[in-house]
A and B are shown apart, each in its own frame.
Chain A
């Protein structure tokens, strides 16, 4: 099976045939943007220092160090995804205002983001959580860093990546939501399981 590789800048046609559960890889630019970037851009109305039209953002707070020998350059040590759901309240607006086409994160996002993905043609994908060295080895270079005053985890790190993945599509451009489907399945199983356990826990004399 050949790898599906998406290249930035990403167009609608690059992603509109992808469905939840598909696995893709990313070439080009990936920019970290998590809680504080969303907050500064959308709540404090500051202009974003990076043009994200057709771009990809990564919900991630990396460990970065100065490159040995060339201290003006940075090197990513470990960079796994962070919990995407924290950005749920802002993400639809973030997609609309920036023109991003691809979000990389961890775990699911909610109905507002799914709606944003449907209306503005974007996808949310998941990189396996915790696999931060694996991800770091897909980063070719740290091109620049913006808003470093937010601290290492919250700054915008502009990364050039090669076959960054696996990225599992969790929300597609139709607004389908893999984790919401899984969540409903988990909820449906829960009551039966709890009821069975509760039959055995009457420890009162």
Chain B
């Protein structure tokens, strides 16, 4: 395949992958929602879970976005340094977003700051947002697509704590945010926490934490234990589906960390809603793809 043809194939694949992401939840999220829904015994909680699963079924049958808020599109790109289109990825992703917006269709959400105009095609200044990681000595690319609605971004916050506030300060920060804002963010939520030395690193890690598969654990045993404790604790708040009370509050709690400065503990928080539209595709040097997040999916 020559480069021009590879480019066309790459853009088309990412456009269809992005549209697909808006219409189908990943396997791990579906499984977790089923598990949480089965635990509920109140009439109200059951009504909400029934509505969710009816919605997922209809979205699939009618090929429509699960939720009308298809977000500001974000891609987390892990690119092999020998991937043939490495120089063109950003441009291709912007083209793919325009195509996906018409194809799905996605809701046009990109509003230019200061001009206060909706661009109409989900492309704008620095949007789609792209995070980069290099994979040395490889010729493939792995791309996470994440469509987060505005509601699930509202609880997001980050703060730099004094070290003597300790990890207790981190826990309090998370619980204050979730108890204040979690109800409106379409629970059960996926909670991402970043702990680092400065605010932007903590915030970025909190978002990356949302990309991890449900059921995965922090790389540090203490981190994994803290994830479990916070998950249990948040569930004991009984926020329930849609905030209507219930057995649980969250689908999971994921923490990611970077070594901190001795004088600071920064904490970041990001939340994902129950309709957690996160997907992962791998594309090799010959533009063959595999969707890792949705087993057996073809686009």
Contact = CB atoms under 8 A, between A and B. Distances in A.
A134 B52 CA distance: 9
A133 B273 CA distance: 16
Contact of A108 (B44, B106, B184, B226): B184
Interface residues of A, number: 53
A92 B286 CA distance: 59
A198 B105 contact: no
A190 interface: yes
Contacts of B64: 63, 77-78, 132-133, 136
A11 to B, nearest CB: 27
Contacts of A152: 107-108, 118, 120
Interface residues of B, number: 61
B47 A166 contact: yes
A28 interface: no
A40 interface: no
A74 B241 CA distance: 32
A129 B105 contact: no
A182 B68 contact: no
Contacts of B242: 106, 126, 128-129
A185 B240 CA distance: 12
B171 A197 contact: yes
Contacts of A196: 233
B290 interface: no
B50 to A, nearest CB: 9
A110 to B, nearest CB: 11
A145 to B, nearest CB: 15
Interface stretch (B54-62, B89-97, B131-139, B211-219): B54-62
B47 A77 contact: no
Contacts of B62: 133
Given A130-B273, A132-B67, A133-B62, A201 B168 contact: yes
A134 B58 contact: yes
A43 interface: no
B186 A106 contact: yes
Nearest to A198: B168
Contact of A200 (B151, B185, B229, B239): B229
A48 B105 CA distance: 29
Given A133-B66, A137-B58, A197 B243 contact: no
Contacts of B222: 203
- Which of A65, A133, A136, A204 has the most chain B CB atoms closer than 10 A to its own CB? A133
A168 interface: yes
A78 B62 CA distance: 11
A17 interface: no
B120 A151 contact: yes
Given A179-B243, A193-B236, A130 B67 contact: yes
B51 interface: yes
Contacts of A133: 55, 58-59, 62, 64-66
B66 A130 contact: yes
A202 interface: yes
Contacts of A198: 167-168, 171-172
A202 B167 contact: yes
A41 to B, nearest CB: 17
A23 interface: yes
Contacts of B238: 185-186, 189
Given A65-B105, A107-B243, A183-B183, A194 B233 contact: yes
Interface string A125-148: 010111111101100000000000
5 contacts: A61-B68, A78-B64, A168-B44, A168-B47, A198-B168
Q: Which 4 A-B pairs have the closest CB atoms?
A: A107-B184, A151-B118, A201-B167, A128-B51
Given A62-B107, A133-B59, 17 more contacts: A63-B68, A65-B105, A82-B151, A83-B185, A126-B244, A128-B48, A128-B55, A129-B273, A130-B52, A133-B62, A136-B64, A137-B58, A168-B47, A182-B245, A196-B233, A197-B226, A200-B225
Interface of B: 44, 47-48, 51-52, 54-55, 58-59, 62, 64-70, 105-109, 111, 117-118, 120, 149-151, 154, 166-168, 170-172, 175, 179, 183-186, 222, 225-226, 229-230, 233-234, 236-239, 241-245, 273-275
